[in-house]
A and B are shown apart, each in its own frame.
Chain A
Amino acid sequence: MTIEALPPAGPGGGLPATDPAPVAGTTSRGVLRQLVLGDRQAAFGSLVLAIFIALALAAPIISPYSPRGKVGPVYAPPSSEHLLGLDDGGIDMLTLLIWGARVSLLVGFAASLMAMLIGGTVGILSGYLGGRTDTVLMRITDYFLVIPDVPLMIVAAAIWGQSLLNIVIIIAVIYWTSTARLIRAQVKSVREQVYVKRARALGAGNIRLIAKHVLPQVTPLLVANTVLTVATAIFAETYIAFLGLGDPSQISWGKLIQNSLSGGAIFSDAWWAIVPPGVCVTLVILACTMVGQSMEDALNPRLKVGHLSVHRFRLRRPPLKAGAE
């Protein structure tokens, strides 16, 4: 990122990125407006997400067949009655996809909400309190960053059993770390803002300062990060389900991908059982990435040129301030 791209530092001497200057869309509503009107990428992403969420919610009404009932021969090809053909149990693929959206999106949103709660709390405490609390919390965060995520998910799912709730908890416990780091950095700079100092001088307590002054400043970023985590969580769910560690009674896209391998769709030449679930996962992950990235960009123009928002699932950021700890 080039230095010239930065706006001049505000009179408070704070970092430009965190200066509460009226950048378009630093409030939640402003961000939303900008998303829908300004940014084609975000508009497309929101549209895709909205469609899938609507499908998931309306599954019992709109799904043409029962997700458990055999309605025809095994691996019957697509026809006018069954637009996407039948799977290895003779169940309508389109119905399965719609019902799969329910579980996949539920896991995605629930896990990332939980991750946001953990990460947000850790980030705010760490950034606001600083000192020893900060050191301890960041050490813990570092450990979680190093643990190989998928093997841990496998082990945890294998040990604690295969319920949906367990999977949500496991995913959340693994993916809160990047949220915590991001929020911590943000809180650290908000804390030093003049208006926060002024409020403290006027006698505001820690709880009031966090609730009234810090939280509103970091909430939009937290939301953007949550949307990005949804993608990660859905991805993780497909891994867990694929390894046969998902809830066996639930239909999810990950389970459908697994079915196509275990049911031998490949050797039955049944592309309709293999391709659609993966396309759905890819679309939703792309949509979440687009929406989340646009929100991050809108909130923090400095990120635009950086590569922070390009990463998600895999990138653990290099220790930029190695040794500064």
Chain B
Amino acid sequence: MRGADYVVRRTGAALLTVFVAITLNFVLFRAVPGSAITALRCFHCTKQFKAALEQELGLNQSMWQQYTIYLGSLAEGDLGTSFTDHRSVWQNLKEPIMNTLPMLVIATVISVVIGVAAGVLSAWRRGTRTDRLNTWTALSFYAMPTQWIGLMVVFYIALRFGFPVAGIRDPTLGILEEPSTWTVIADRLRHLALPALTLGIGLYGEYALIVRSSMLETLGEDYVLTARAKGLKNFNIVWRHGLRNAMLPLVTLIALSFGYILAGAIVIEEVFSYPGIGLAVINAIDQRDYPVLQGAFLLLTFAVIFFNFVADLLYFKLDPRVTA
């Protein structure tokens, strides 16, 4: 079978990367000046309490012992316990992750739709004013700091059109009466719309540029010329013959830029006070809650490694020219 070898090798590489990420995560958090405990922001903690905490977390053991303990608990799916509320890190992060996911999905859909439309238009009208305007717009959005786009969206759209600018649900919902499922969903979407739109706008520029250059390549291919000679309609040439092949770089790019999408999500959640993984990370920093920070960082790294792996596989699957 074509590529079984390739898949095995890629999987091996991904697993190795995961292992390195775990080790790096361990080293990074043990490299805190002093120890994680002294850095803990806790004004009424006594010396005894801190010593006890150190004992509990095993920070007084040798590095190697700590490392094996860390690996062991990770293998059991234990990410540690939060300093601040003593719940497990996973419990702390589960809900934020579930809140962030729909935002990422909607944002990606928005950015792909705008990006493909703009890119195809630009490529089709290449060299014209439309193309230049389009490319410049895309480049500019691509150069804007995501959090700033968020602030602009809040300032010029949310406040003027009455969108909620903080949180994930209307706090008054469900006080007077049990809300219907539809009200809950509508409320959720209203809170989701602008963060997702912001992230989508921040991402679309790059997608548009990639689609444009990839479309230009495809439109120069012989089979497009053949299609045109056959007298096919422009629409068919562009969408059926052109875009289908031009989508390849985009599909892998989306998977590859997952780390970037996450980065945007983190700052956007801060702007909109959206209780997702980004806000969880920021709160963990504020409270110097290292276990939560460490757990979140590890999960984010895993996600990025996973999507890189997916990108590799997709690229292989979609482009028969890639050899195993």
**Total A residues in contact with B, Cβ cutoff 8 Å:** 57
Q: Which of the residues B213, B256, B271, B301 comes within 8 Å of A151, measured between beta carbons?
A: B301
Residues of chain A within 8 A (CB-CB) of B145 are 235, 238-239, 242, 254, 257, 278, 281-282
Q: Which of the residues B144, B151, B315 comes within 8 Å of A319, measured between beta carbons?
A: B315
Q: How many inter-chain contacts with C-beta < 8 Å in the A-B complex?
A: 182
Q: Which of the residues B6, B270, B300 comes within 8 Å of A323, measured between beta carbons?
A: B6
- Size class of the B contact interface (CB-based, 8 Å): 35 or more
Given A156-B28, A242-B270, A281-B144, CB of A151 within 8 Å of CB of B300: yes
A149 engages B259 (CB within 8 Å): yes
The smallest C-beta distance from A152 to any residue of chain B, in angstroms, reads: 7
A318 engages B266 (CB within 8 Å): no
B210 engages A310 (CB within 8 Å): yes
Q: Which of the residues A151, A271, A318 comes within 8 Å of B315, measured between beta carbons?
A: A318
The SS class assigned to the A binding surface is helix
Once bound together, how far apart are the Cα atoms of A260 and B150, in whole Å? 12
Once bound together, how far apart are the Cα atoms of A314 and B159, in whole Å? 31
**A:268-323 near B, CB below 8 Å:** 271, 274-275, 277-278, 281-282, 285-286, 289, 305-307, 310-311, 313-316, 318-320, 322-323
Q: Which of the residues A161, A305, A318 comes within 8 Å of B252, measured between beta carbons?
A: A318
B213 engages A310 (CB within 8 Å): yes
Given A159-B32, A322-B6, CB of A315 within 8 Å of CB of B143: no
Once bound together, how far apart are the Cα atoms of A316 and B249, in whole Å? 11
Given A155-B28, A239-B263, A257-B147, CB of A2 within 8 Å of CB of B217: yes
Tell yes or no: B114 within 8 A of A by CB: no
Tell yes or no: B121 within 8 A of A by CB: no
A147 engages B260 (CB within 8 Å): no
Residues of chain B within 8 A (CB-CB) of A319 are 312, 315, 322
Once bound together, how far apart are the Cα atoms of A118 and B142, in whole Å? 26
**B:188-221 near A, CB below 8 Å:** 206, 209-210, 213-214, 216-217, 220
Tell yes or no: A148 within 8 A of B by CB: yes
Binding-face segment, B77-85, B174-182, B303-311: B303-311
Residues of chain A within 8 A (CB-CB) of B270 are 242-243, 261
The smallest C-beta distance from A255 to any residue of chain B, in angstroms, reads: 12
The smallest C-beta distance from A185 to any residue of chain B, in angstroms, reads: 18
A278 engages B262 (CB within 8 Å): no
The smallest C-beta distance from B39 to any residue of chain A, in angstroms, reads: 8
A278 engages B151 (CB within 8 Å): yes
The smallest C-beta distance from A51 to any residue of chain B, in angstroms, reads: 17
Q: Which of the residues A274, A277, A281 comes within 8 Å of B155, measured between beta carbons?
A: A274
Once bound together, how far apart are the Cα atoms of A155 and B305, in whole Å? 18
Tell yes or no: B116 within 8 A of A by CB: no
Residues of chain B within 8 A (CB-CB) of A71 are none
Tell yes or no: A50 within 8 A of B by CB: no
Smallest CB-CB separation from A242: which chain B residue? B147
Given A160-B33, A314-B206, A318-B253, CB of A239 within 8 Å of CB of B267: yes
A266 engages B263 (CB within 8 Å): no
Tell yes or no: A202 within 8 A of B by CB: no
Once bound together, how far apart are the Cα atoms of A143 and B145, in whole Å? 26
Residues of chain B within 8 A (CB-CB) of A147 are 21, 24, 259, 301, 304
Tell yes or no: A125 within 8 A of B by CB: no
Q: Which of the residues A146, A154, A159, A310 comes within 8 Å of B17, measured between beta carbons?
A: A146
With A148-B259, A278-B149, A315-B206 known, 17 other A-B pairs at CB within 8 A are A1-B217, A143-B24, A147-B24, A147-B301, A148-B304, A151-B301, A161-B33, A239-B267, A261-B270, A281-B144, A282-B143, A310-B209, A314-B206, A315-B256, A318-B249, A320-B322, A322-B315
6 shortest interchain CB distances as A-B pairs: A150-B263, A278-B148, A285-B143, A307-B213, A314-B260, A148-B259
17 A–B contacts from the bound complex (CB under 8 Å): A1-B217, A146-B21, A148-B300, A151-B262, A151-B296, A151-B301, A154-B285, A156-B28, A238-B145, A239-B147, A239-B263, A242-B147, A243-B267, A271-B155, A281-B148, A286-B139, A320-B322
